[in-house]
Amino acid sequence: MYVPKSFKMNDLNEITKFLHTHRFGILVSTADGQPLATHLPFLYDTERNVLLAHMAKANPQWRNLEGQTVLVVFSGPHAYISPSWYKVSASMPTWNYVAVHLYGKCTVIDSEEELAGLLEKTVLFYEPDSELPSKADEPFYRNMMKAIVGFRIDITSVQGAAKLSQNKSVEIQQRIIANLRESADTGAQDVAQFMQERVNAMKGAGPVGDS
């Protein structure tokens, strides 16, 4: 992923927080020279530095995953930025966004016990009070497990981009934030929140050159 220096996410804690909040990603792999992609919910295991997920066994993508280096794309909020908000002549429109790309080696889970553990972690992460894990041994759920494939991605590389008008003055950033907050679009409002957090952290900073 091309990331200009001024937009690069360098704080691992910031990236981890992002991955715990934006867990729905796109798994990208290849088969016979062709790209394949599936939209999936992921669990980010920070202790082991791995991603865990599962897909339908009917999805042919899993058949080529074992041992392959794959890419998972996590997209955060994004919004159109109007040059009229800058109140500066000779300005161009742009798009602000936050995204993280993870690369890693994929391992298909062939152990029924390990797959059951993955599913339990997934369910309890999204629904801590769920009773489903206690029913895992019932025939219905055992049969459902046969219809899915779990996999683990051992992360080898992380790239994060937070393009949030850091190359503009704080004054212009605040004008952008104000306009985004007036939008009815929740994505625009979320971008405004990301921007405000950065402005608060870097208060008083002047323009940063883009590249």
Q: What is the pLDDT of residues 140-178, one digit of tens each?
A: 888 888 999 999 999 999 999 999 999 999 999 999 999
Structural domain boundaries of the chain? 5-167
Answering whether pTM is above 0.85, one says yes
Residue 37 is encoded by which pair of tokens?
């992609």
pLDDT number for residue 148: 95
pLDDT at 34 > cutoff 80:
yes
CATH of domain 5-167: 2.30.110.10
pLDDT at 91 > cutoff 60:
yes
Outline where DSSP puts E strands in the chain: 24-31, 34-41, 43-45, 50-56, 69-81, 94-109, 148-163
Q: What is the mean pLDDT of residues 46-52?
A: 94
pLDDT number for residue 210: 42
pLDDT number for residue 44: 94
pLDDT number for residue 138: 86
| Integer Rg of the chain from CA | 21
pLDDT exceeding 90 applies to what percent of the chain?
Answer: 77
pLDDT at 18 > cutoff 70:
yes
Q: What is the mean pLDDT of residues 179-208?
A: 84
Q: Report the C-alpha gap between 107 and 153 in whole angstroms.
A: 6
Dmax (CA) for the chain in angstroms is 68
CA-nearest of 17, 40, 43 to 120 is 43
DSSP 89: S
pLDDT number for residue 209: 42
Q: How confident is the model at residue 191 (pLDDT cuts 50, 70, 90)?
A: very high
Q: How many CB atoms lie within 10 A of CB 61?
A: 20
Q: What is the mean pLDDT of residues 60-74?
A: 97
